[in-house]
Structure 1
């Protein structure tokens, strides 16, 4: 018999954040980029009182990167969801939240590298959005 279920955890914080300063026509703006993991788990295998337990907890974490420009809340948004982390632990997923959080945290260097690349790529798009907002405000 195979038992499986899915848990979607609230965002698991990752200690990856990056602040930059964007200079534009109206001055300068501090922009914060932060990463959060949306974790999904699934127990695979079987558990029976008369047989060896073959259950494993498989987890997937989609890394969500959000941009937050200071004093421009209308430009706050998710700028990336394209990084996925994964792993597995022995046993059922119930009660494994902290262990999964530790495994996600152990991949922080990967997340940080991705966060920096996303922030670099997003800077041109953000500048265009700031300029467009400035043009709308002046009309």
Structure 2
């Protein structure tokens, strides 16, 4: 299971280069998932188990600049995927992490969209830093 998570982490990055006052600034956008689970239903003796594990994975996009930790921040966390599985939720099952692999194409597309939408705010932040540095 850890190999799948490592592969997901490797595939969930997007690099862009922005020109700012004659120099290139590289930014890396990384998607990570925050998974929440909840067990619904009842498990009673002498009856059939009707528990289900509901999971919701929120895609959080973090931005980091190549020049250092300045202006690193969380850019977006609005994309969610959800589903359910039979049985109770347990940490050892890794329910959401196992199911999120189906959405890798959508996560990669979301990452590109977030990077494009963040271009103007990134340039504005770089202008602010430049203005502070020149004072």
TM over 0.5: yes
Give the alignment partner of residue 52 of structure 1, picking from 44, 48, 51: 48
2:107 equivalent to 1:118: no
Hey, what's the Cα distance between the residues in 1 that align with 2:68 and 2:126?
Answer: 9
Hey, what's the Cα distance between the residues in 2 that align with 1:100 and 1:75?
Answer: 30
Hey, what's the Cα distance between the residues in 1 that align with 2:41 and 2:22?
Answer: 58
Residue 100 of structure 1 deviates from its aligned partner by: 2.5
Hey, what's the Cα distance between the residues in 2 that align with 1:137 and 1:72?
Answer: 16
Contact 1:25/1:131, CA 8 A, preserved across alignment: no
- What is residue 96 of structure 1 aligned with on the other side? 93
- What is residue 19 of structure 1 aligned with on the other side? 15
The C-alpha deviation readout for 1:63-120, integer Å capped at 9, x for no partner, is 10000011141200000011111011110011321x4212112111111111110000
Q: Flag the structure with higher helix content.
A: 2
Residue 26 of structure 1 deviates from its aligned partner by: 5.5
Listed as ranges, the gaps of 5+ residues in structure 2 are: 1-7
- What is residue 6 of structure 1 aligned with on the other side? none
Hey, what's the Cα distance between the residues in 2 that align with 1:30 and 1:109?
Answer: 23
Hey, what's the Cα distance between the residues in 1 that align with 2:59 and 2:12?
Answer: 11
Question: How large is the Cα RMSD of the aligned pairs?
Answer: 1.3
2:130 equivalent to 1:134: yes
Check 1:84–1:41 CA distance in 2 against 1; reply closer, same or farther (3 A cut).
same
Hey, what's the Cα distance between the residues in 1 that align with 2:113 and 2:27?
Answer: 15
Contact 1:22/1:29, CA 8 A, preserved across alignment: yes
- What is residue 28 of structure 2 aligned with on the other side? 32
